[in-house]
Amino acid sequence: MATRRIPLVLLACGSFNPITNQHMRLFELARDHMHSTGQYQVVGGIVSPVSDGYGKQGLVLAQHRIAMAKLALQSSDWVTVDEWESQQADWTETAVTMRYHYGRILKEYERSTGEHKDSSGNPSPLSSPCPQLKLLCGADFLDTFQVPDLWLDDHVEEVAGHFGLICVSRGGLHPEQAVAASDTLSRHSHNIFLVREWVRNETSATEVRRALRRGLSVKYLIPDSVIEYIHQHNLYTEDSERRNKGTVLRPLAKQATQPGKSLDD
């Protein structure tokens, strides 16, 4: 009898400043890879832009980043944009954002499967495998786990061990080295899925913003609907790039005030 596949939701956190075709491509690559394992059935994807409290230079307001992401993903029938993280007054740790989304996923799962308790008060077995949530990221994200004062140690353990990661690499990046360099990541290497993108796509949001500031074309790098939105709202100018200049990234400032510091986002 064939084993039933585990329902899986992919969560991508980040600035999405602006969202690019490459951001969306990560979801497609990750879904193909996870299906190829024979263990998982990807049932959804979530784009979760950071809040304005992140403090990164050149970060335009969350309302614009959310609007652009929604326009870009109109063509997707399985990836959606979630506003919860972007609406928080302060920057939210990745582990906290994952807890929030997984809580929602479990509630929906319990509702749809009609979970109930037996006469002893214990949850009765559900008819389908419990869904999982994994963090989707570019392979360079793994290097952030080695940045001093960026992640809390227990958050690294939670993200890598409890949830898991799907890291898409391109170009000369070697994510397996980042895994080997971390005791925590090495311990949970079975829960870290490394995906190689063979069709090269080096588009970055930083380069897109630079081109826009210089009045250069970004067609085919980001969706036409997003380009139109950017022009309508006069985003990504010399002035907008100076936003938050000289500000310490909120993860660094926040973690520095907490015991057991380490890294996040």
DSSP percent split of the chain into helix, strand, coil, nearest 5: 45, 15, 40
Residue indicated by tokens 């939701």: 9
**What pLDDT is stored for residue 1 in this prediction?**
39
Task: Average pLDDT across each block of 10 residues of the chain; the chain has 265 residues. List them in order.
Answer: 83 97 96 97 98 95 98 97 97 97 96 64 66 94 88 96 94 83 94 89 90 96 98 96 89 69 39
C-alpha 42/C-alpha 5 separation (Å) is 9
Residue 264 phi/psi, 5° resolution? -160, 110
CA dist 71 and 94 (Å) reads: 24
What is the predicted pLDDT for the residue at 265? 38
Q: How far is CA 107 from CA 125, 189, 197, 236, in A?
A: 15, 28, 34, 39
At 125 the pLDDT is 54
Distance between CA atoms of residues 261 and 148, nearest Å: 8
pTM of the shown model? 0.90
Q: Which one of 3.40.640.10, 3.90.1150.10, 3.30.1330.10, 3.40.50.620 gives the CATH number of domain 6-102+130-254? A: 3.40.50.620
